[in-house]
Amino acid sequence: MNYTAPMLTLPATAEAFGTPSSAQAWLLNGTPLGLAALLLVAGALADAHGRRRVFLLGTLALGVTTALGAFAGTTALFTAARIAQGAASAAILAGSLGLLADAYPSGRDRIRATGVWGASVSAGIALGPLLAAVLSLADWRLAYLALGAATLATAVTGARTLTPPRTGGGGAPASTPTGSGGGPAPSPGRTAGTPAPSPERTADAPAPSPAGRAGGGGRPDLAGATALALALGALLTALTLGRDGWLRPAVGVLLLASAVLLALFVAVERRRKDPMIDLGLLRRPAFRASTVGALFTGLAVIGLFSVLPSLLMRGQGVAPLAAAGLFVLWSGTSFVVALQARRLAGRISAPYQLALGFVLSAAGVLPLLGTVDAPAVPWPRLMAGLVVAGAGSGLLNAALPRLAVDSVPPERAAMGSGANNTARYIGSAAGVALMLALSATDPDTAFAASAALALAGAALTVAGSPRR
């Protein structure tokens, strides 16, 4: 909800801050920038210091920074608050999927759990703009105050319900408790009917890894995180400036700087004994499919639908509540499909489910061509396209978390989820900047680019992947 709320408040926020059109991408991109920069760090910290601890600290920080964002008075301060919210969200995402991997080690229960996780993402995506549209009738800042309060309440609830593991001397996990039947007792946040995690792992127990992380003791990889954040910042700035001319020298220099910084990030990760991401994982076809799928989900899907409500409000004069309703149609369809996608398990592999999701997304975007500049809103065509694209998004949201944790060893589950979500938010940040730049002259160019990127994502995710 926090991620998508600015989609509906963008016009009012830009007006309040006097933000020029060329800089409005930053009002949307603050959170994905923070997410992309720190998700890998959060994943490594969750693996080393406990998924519950990282999850709860992230939830608390998100509540505080979201509420503070409501009091921002300038574009720079609001963007800074959104970046901080992204950093807090990184801890939540990495910790939450790691907790799921602990509670549901494998099999259909994990498929069901990750499907619910994906459906919850879709529900939050839907409700964020709707809440923002309703509260912005009074004041756009109320949306952020309400979200901040709700997140703080979630942190309090989580601290009470996610029971910390018992530890023995020296902070090591105590022996696994047993239930009344002599088997392992349910782990925190897990009912008695669900599979128990392996005896060696608990929610806040440091994860084992090759060499026992002796090289760094779980210390954050600040050099790698800084290089990645600067590379993404340079890329986003280049894409933002591109709306005024893609051949300008500044755009080329920034793109070159982004490439150099990305190469520096790779070099840093290869030299570290405890990297944010083990680059050797890229040799796994499933991990490559997960990463590529997440990247193109951000570029093709999240990038376009993050700016679509604003395009409709400005191009067709659609009221905020009506725009929110259309967004709910897309994301609500995504929510329902993500819940039902577990029925595909065993029939189609996760990479091929991703490919199907991309194809449906492209098929749903193509009917949107001409809708923004039409003399009147073509409601039937617009709504039909949103339903089809929403179904594709649901398949993507259900497959990505499952593939993220299944494609890596159990002790790397948080790293796997962190890498997957990093790729998604790098893609979404770049996608938002690209779609805003392309739509400045012709919204149909953005729609066509989204469809083309989705088809490219479909082809790349199935390259070298087994059908089952």
Residues 245-262: tens digit of each pLDDT: 889 999 999 999 999 999
pTM, two decimals, is 0.79
Q: Which range among 121-125, 174-178, 342-346 shows the weakest confidence by mean pLDDT? A: 174-178
Q: Which of 78, 66, 69, 73 is nearest to 25 (CA)?
A: 78
DSSP 278: -
How far apart (Å, rounded) are the C-alpha atoms in residues 301 and 390? 10
Q: Is 183 exposed, middle or buried (0-12, 13-18, 19+ CB in 10 A)?
A: exposed
> Sign of dihedral through CA atoms 381, 382, 386, 387?
negative
Higher pLDDT, 373 or 187: 373
Q: Distance of CA 461 to CAs 23, 95, 295, Å?
A: 33, 25, 10
Q: Are 113 and 97 in contact (CB under 8 A)?
A: no
Using DSSP, state whether 418 is helix, strand or coil: helix
Q: Which of 346, 363, 332 is nearest to 458 (CA)?
A: 363
pLDDT for the residue 218: 53
Using DSSP, state whether 167 is helix, strand or coil: strand
pLDDT for the residue 58: 95
- The contacts of residue 310 (CB under 8 Å, 6+ apart) are 7, 10, 11
Q: Is the confidence at residue 192, as pLDDT, over 50?
A: no
Q: Is the confidence at residue 51, as pLDDT, over 50?
A: yes
Q: Are 4 and 334 in contact (CB under 8 A)?
A: no
pLDDT for the residue 155: 93
Confidence label for 397 from pLDDT (cuts 50, 70 and 90) = confident
> Sign of dihedral through CA atoms 101, 102, 103, 109?
positive
Other Cβ atoms less than 10 A from the Cβ of 373: the count is 12
Q: Is the confidence at residue 424, as pLDDT, over 70?
A: yes
Confidence label for 265 from pLDDT (cuts 50, 70 and 90) = very high
pLDDT for the residue 165: 52
Q: Are 432 and 29 in contact (CB under 8 A)?
A: yes
- Per the prediction, the chain carries an average pLDDT of 83
Other Cβ atoms less than 10 A from the Cβ of 38: the count is 27
pLDDT for the residue 176: 35
If you average pLDDT over each of 50-54, 120-124, 384-388, which comes out highest? 384-388
pLDDT for the residue 371: 93
The predicted-structure confidence for 290-300, as pLDDT tens digits, reads as follows 999 999 999 99
> Sign of dihedral through CA atoms 438, 313, 6, 335?
negative
What are the structure tokens assigned to 332, written together?
Answer: 């609500």
Percent of the chain with pLDDT over 70: 86
Q: Are 420 and 286 in contact (CB under 8 A)?
A: no
pLDDT for the residue 244: 81
User: At residue 173, what are phi and psi to the nearest 5 degrees?
Assistant: -60, 140
Task: Calculate the CA 54 to chain-centre distance.
Answer: 17
Confidence label for 93 from pLDDT (cuts 50, 70 and 90) = confident
Q: Is the confidence at residue 215, as pLDDT, over 60?
A: no
How far apart (Å, rounded) are the C-alpha atoms in residues 348 and 352? 6
What are the structure tokens assigned to 236, written together?
Answer: 């986003």
Q: Distance of CA 388 to CAs 219, 285, 329, 374, Å?
A: 44, 28, 10, 21
Beta bridge partners of 184: 178
Higher pLDDT, 107 or 178: 107
Confidence label for 107 from pLDDT (cuts 50, 70 and 90) = confident
Q: List the Cα angle 401/269/47 in 5-degree steps.
A: 45
pLDDT for the residue 405: 80
pLDDT for the residue 115: 73
